[in-house]
Structure 1
Amino acid sequence: MTGHEAAPSRRTALGLLGAVPLSAGGLLGAAPRSASASAAGDGSGRIPADLRPGGAFDRYIRDLAERDQFSGTVLLAHRGRHVLARAYGMADKERRIPNEPDTVYAMASASKPFTGLAVVRLAEQRKLRFHDKVGDHLDGFPAQIAEHVTIHHMLTHTSGMTDPTNDAPDPHVFTSAEERNRHLAARARAQTLRFTPGTRKEYSSMGYEVLGELVATVSGQPFHEYVREHVFARAGMVDSAYHTRTEWLANERIAHPYMLQEDGSRVDGVRHLDKGGVGGVPGSNSARAFIGSGGGNGFTTAPDLVRFALALQRDELLKRAYTELFVNAKVSGPPLREGPADPRRGEAFHAYGPTASTYNDQRYISHGGGIAGGSTNWSIYLDLDWVAVVLCNHDLPIEPIIEQERSRITA
């Protein structure tokens, strides 16, 4: 652990033992549908030594934390059981609250799949169709969007709504969900298309902002309430929500983002709304938004993401046909982050929310996210019964951690 951490609590101590159960029995019900597959790839269900407490992956994370190269929570789970749970660094330096295995983190874009799942559920309920146009459900959009951009396009980042000004930092500090929603709706209606919908794949947070508005309009519920009822509650994600900035400040279980500054210092983004980070989109600070949206920044924990994975694979969130629609690859495109050439890395695809690809010829779905002062990623290895979560509340690269995770789980 890093030198500035407080003494570990009981939860942290359990995490350091690598055995933090999801429930008293440590297992959330029966194994998912693919339980016949094994982590070792031989049907035995053995846990590789490298992934156990004290193994190579555990030592790698500890070394990063000791060098102040990681602050956050890492969780590996197999068939619903926590194999390795680690937490390092501080969730709130001012209050001297350490990160725990069940600390709540702002997920940034890693919560986009919750938006996608909400849309797929509405399709399952026959309230919309994937080929519906934006104008079939929402008013006020220019004709090029209303008449040509489909729900499928927005889910797969092929809508063309990728105006470069979308990435400009917004210095305005919002004070209510209603104000934030009005602002997003106005920005969405001011979009122009960079390319003909369906002809290219280019990441578009604005497409998911529109999907969030669509969920609210079609369901008759505010977006945050619909996701809480139809995703979080159904999955048993007891610590997940779209928290307001007020709740972010008051709730001691929520980690604060520590944004890197030009001088190398880190600033608490929730307490210093006038400050922005230097990485990602320079000057941005997600706490100014007041509350998350269809485009991201829901809040959750590593254990809740395991619950989400199990509920998804057991068809508790969607009927089987619609679960398959949600997780299966739809559109190929370049990876969001290029890295060193790796022959084990499969071609990048997008499903209806998560990314969908292969590594070492094993399927997984995943999504990452980044805000000033935080990086997140979760992965569900569909045929191996593994779930891996990396949640960080510093401006630090987590791609090397994900690479270590992938190579060892799929070995």
Structure 2
Amino acid sequence: MLGMLAAAPLSASGLAAASDSAHAQPRRSPSEPLRRYREYVSELAKKDQFSGVIMVAHRGRPVIAEAYGMADKKLGVRNRVDTRFNLGSASKPFSTLAIVQLAEQGKIEFYDKLGTYLQGFRPEVAEKVTVHQMLTHTSGMTMAWDPSRITYSREELWEIVRKALREGELQFTPGTQHAYGGACLDALGEIVTKITGMSYWDYVHEHIFGAAGMTGSRYYTRTEWLADPAIAHPYMLQADGSRVDALRDLKASAVIGGPGTSPARPFVGLPSVGAFSSAPDLVRLAQALQNHKLLTRPYTDLYVGPKFPAAPPPGAPSPGPTRREAFQAYGLNSTILGDFRVIGHGGGVGGGNANWNVYLGHDWAGVVLSNYDLDSKLFMDILGKEREAITSAAG
């Protein structure tokens, strides 16, 4: 039987047990695809090809909740269901969600130009790029970034990013193309700081993580990461097939998941990358979005709705006979898959992969968090098995 079948809802304090069996939800019989998904990942873990957590939840209740491998091999700390992982780019939707919250409050307009809020950018960037284009990866913005640099404070990192953004150029006329990147997200984070008077990190902690009950989610600093055994260390694949702890060896570089980079070199994550969360917290996020705890219904629809056609990521699993339409939403991927609308985001860093999906209208969510960086085919195979399991169970 699958782990955590029909468990209680994910409360703010963790995986809570139902206190009154008379009010417990009836147990859901696991479908064959759900069982196959769990067994598939379990076999990968036995071969040391996967380390991390998978979770499938229905109405906030975990149907599958499994942890594999080690969070810290040196200290012998195992991954747990509530272990926190570096999300990489899977944290990008937090910065766009913050902007939509401010728009709902009338503090920002989607059609405004970047120069309305921030100064020092090249004229062609400041006067042409709109907030909407930054939210949809259609701005054409770039930034001059040195991935080998190690930073030692929030202030140092933020100053480097601000300078790099202002040195960036346009790679195409804003609004004419879609090009996934991080510059636009980091600029949006700076806008959040400018409008609210709070640091970007503090704003997200209070108005997104706090509002959604994501008590373990945070932009942890490298110092906090190293000191907390509940945060998984990133084990980066090397050319010889070995894995190195990127948190303890800042000179080591990734072979995949951003070749030449290391997720631990920046002192703290940015609006474009590097928040930390757990599988239960990401299920809480899915529930908060669907229950309009973070935005009112109209602005939730605006946030998750398709904005710009986007090709599926390289190696994305084939939908088979099911028709698929992929779009860019406001920082989210928004996909029509047969009878399903799926929103979410993935991420890859040296020593880690992450993905969270919400199946709108069906009350299902899927989370995959890993502290191994996986080749794209393997990661897409895992996500394909997750999708098959959820669509079968929901259908």
Compared CA separation, residues 240 and 341, structure 1 to 2 (3 A): closer
> Contact 1:280 / 1:371 at 8 angstroms: preserved in 2?
yes
Gaps of 5+ in 1: 1-13, 28-43
Compute the displacement of 1:279 (Å): 1.0
Does residue 1:390 correspond to 2:368, yes or no? yes
C-alpha spacing 1:329/1:291, structure 2 compared with 1 (3 Å): same
- Show the counterpart of 2:127: 147
Q: Is the 8 A contact 2:54 2:67 kept in 1?
A: yes
CA deviations on 1:84-122 (whole Å, 9 max, x unpaired) are 100001000011000110000010000111111100000
| 1:181 to 2:154 alignment | no
Of 221-230 and 399-408, more deviation after overlay is shown by 399-408
- 2:216 matches 1:242: no
Q: Distance in 2 between the 1:209 and 1:15 partners? A: 40
Deviation for aligned residue 1:19? 6.5
Decide whether aligned partners of structure 1 residues 16 and 95 sit closer, same or farther in structure 2, where only a CA change above 3 A counts: farther
Q: State the alpha-carbon separation in 2 of the partners of residues 272 and 260 from structure 1.
A: 13
Query: Which of residues 240, 250, 268 in structure 2 aligns to 1:291?
Result: 268
The code of the aligned residue for 2:210 comes to A
Corresponding residue pairs, total: 377
Normalising to structure 2: TM-score of the pair?
0.91
Partner amino acid, structure 2, of 1:408? A
Q: Following the alignment from structure 1 to structure 2, what is the Cα–Cα distance between the partners of residues 132 and 336?
A: 30
Match of 2:44 in 1: 64
Question: Is the contact made by 2:257 and 2:351 (CA closer than 8 Å) also made in structure 1?
Answer: no
1:50 aligns with 2:28: no
Amino acid at match of 1:316: K
1:232 maps to 209
Residue 76 (structure 2) aligned to one of 85, 96, 109: 96
Matched to 2:292, the amino acid is: D
- Alignment RMSD, CA only? 2.0
- Residues 317 and 381 in structure 2, CA contact (< 8 A), matched pair in contact too: no
Structure 2 stretches lacking a partner, 5+ long: 20-25
Give the alignment partner of residue 279 of structure 1, picking from 242, 253, 256: 256
Is the CA contact 2:250–2:265 (under 8 Å) kept in the aligned structure 1? Answer: yes
Question: Which of 118, 123, 145 in structure 1 is aligned with 2:98?
Answer: 118
Q: What is the rounded CA distance, in whole Å, between the counterparts of 1:124 and 1:297 in structure 2? A: 26
How far, CA to CA, are the matches of 2:106 and 2:100 in structure 1?
10
Task: Please report how far the alpha carbon of residue 59 of structure 1 lies from its aligned counterpart in structure 2 after TM superposition.
Answer: 1.1
Residue in structure 1 matching 2:182, options 205, 208, 231: 205
Q: What secondary structure sits across from 2:203 in the alignment?
A: helix
Note if contact 1:26-1:82 (Cα within 8 Å) is conserved in structure 2: no
**1:348 is aligned to 2:326:** yes
Structure 1 residue 345 displacement after superposition: 5.4
- TM normalised by structure 1 equals 0.88
Percent identity between the two aligned chains: 47
Could you tell me which amino acid in structure 1 is paired with residue 126 of structure 2?
A
Task: Note the alpha carbon deviations across 1:217-249, whole angstroms, 9 max, x for none.
Answer: 111100000001100000000001100000000
- Give the AA of the match of 1:360: G
C-alpha distance in 1 between matches for 2:123 and 2:174: 13
Structure 1 residue 204: Cα displacement? 1.5
Q: 1:51: Cα distance to partner?
A: 5.5
Cα distance in 2, alignment partners of residues 110 and 292 from structure 1: 12
Distance across 2 between alignment mates of 1:26 and 1:208: 40
Q: Matches of 1:18 and 1:272 in 2, distance apart?
A: 39
**Alignment equivalent of 2:307, drawn from 313, 330, 338:** 330
Q: What is the 5 A alignment of 1:358-373?
A: 358-373=336-351
Amino acid at match of 1:392: S
Q: Which residue of 2 aligns with 1:309?
A: 286
Residue 338 (structure 1) shift: 3.8
Q: Counterpart of 1:11?
A: none
